[in-house]
Each structure stands twice: as structure tokens, then as C-alpha cells.
Amino acid sequence: MLDTQTRIELPKLPYAENALEPVISARTLSFHYGKHHAGYVANLTKLIEGSAFAGLALEEIVRRAHAEKATPVFNNAAQAWNHTFYWHSMKPQDDAAPKGKLKAALERDFGSVDDFKTQFAKAATAQFGSGWTWLVAEQGKLAIKATANADTPLLGSAKPLLVIDVWEHAYYLDYQNKRPDYVAGWIEKLANWDFAEANLG
């Protein structure tokens, strides 16, 4: 389970940069993590220096910046948080599948695991422009939630369990405009079901 009350720093990846191949190449992961994620962390550090946000946990900065309409701070803080959650939403695997409590909840709320995968893939593929597609728990049920740009479930009552990044920089070097191929490979080969189950609690 991810410690969401994280400090303002670039966390270490939970695997090697080539560990997600062939679905996500080492080149893509290097740019995504080393340039994009690192850039959000660096920008946020500069933005909050000497401000009322300094010293707060990242999750608290996301919420307060949004409430106070501090848009640059929110965008960089939320993207830093979202990316950390995304790295943990994946792990190298061959044929893992949801099990236990998570499997039962997916079957209860989506009909079957395969039905969930179909709906999740549809939402991720259909997301217009940049954003994220989440599996969340809300009011005792699982749901699929799409957020645009830097938006995050942290702003509402939903508890995030798993997320796929559908910003173009997450897949364009490997797939160009074929987002459906990236999404399909991600769901079948990378989704960290253990992480999602741990978040379900």
C-alpha cells in the first residue's frame, strides 16, 4: 500500500526502467519518470518555497491548492501525486489476475473481471485529451472514474485503488496514436492487482 502522505521528492521507481517491457519500453519510462515526473516535483518545490504550502504533505498540498485556486501549485502537486500512484499501479508480470477480496468486488460491481477490464479499457481509450482512468471505491462500491489533466480522486470522496495514465507522454514513443494498444497491454500485463487489493483494505 502506498504512503500517500508523501514528502515532496521524486520517489524511487519500484522496479528497473526496463522491467515493464515490452508493454512500456525503458526509453518511455526514462522520459516519463526522469523528465515529466521529475519536472513536476522540481516545479512544485520552487512554487511552494517560502509559502504557506511549505512543509505540508503532498496530499494536503493537492487538496489545499485546489480549494484555494492556487492552480500552478495544484497542477504540479497533483501530477506529482498521480504519477507516484501510477508507478505503483504497475508491476512486471506475465499472467497475474485479480484475486481474493478484489476479485469478488469486481464481480459484484461489474459482473465479472472480464467485464471490468472491458469497461476500464473503454473509459481509458475514450478519455479525450490528457488524463487518467482510475479504479476507485466509493460508497461501498467499485467504480471507474476518468479525470482530465491533473485532476485526481483526492478531491472527492472516492478512494483510488489503481490508475492508468493516458497522457500521450505515457505511451507515444511506443505506440504513437494507438492508445487502445497501450491500454490493452497495460490491463493484461502490467496492472498491479495486489496494489489495488491492498488499497481496497
CA nearest neighbour of 161 among 124, 200, 188: 200
For the domain with range 100-200, which CATH number is right: 3.30.420.40, 3.55.40.20, 3.30.70.100, 3.40.50.620?
Answer: 3.55.40.20
Residue 28: the pLDDT is 97
Which helix (H) or strand (E) element contains residue 128? none
pLDDT band of residue 1 (cuts 50, 70, 90) is very low
pTM: 0.94
* Torsion, CA 37, CA 79, CA 134, CA 15, rounded to 10: 20
Please determine, for residue 52, whether its predicted confidence score (pLDDT) is greater than 50.
yes
Instruction: For 3-33, give one letter per residue: b (16+ CB within 10 A) or e.
Output: ebeeebebbebeeebeebeebbbeebbebbb
* Averaged confidence pLDDT in the chain: 94
Over residues 165-188, the pLDDT tens digits come to 999 999 999 999 999 999 999 999
Residue 93: the pLDDT is 78
Q: What is the DSSP letter of 192?
A: -
For residue 142, the SS3 value is strand
CA nearest neighbour of 187 among 136, 117, 91, 127: 117
- In words, the CATH class of domain 26-88 is mainly alpha
Residue 34: the pLDDT is 96
**Domain ranges in the chain?**
26-88, 100-200
Over residues 111-123, the pLDDT tens digits come to 999 999 999 999 9
pLDDT band of residue 49 (cuts 50, 70, 90) is very high
Q: What sections of 111-175 are H helices per DSSP? A: 113-126, 172-175
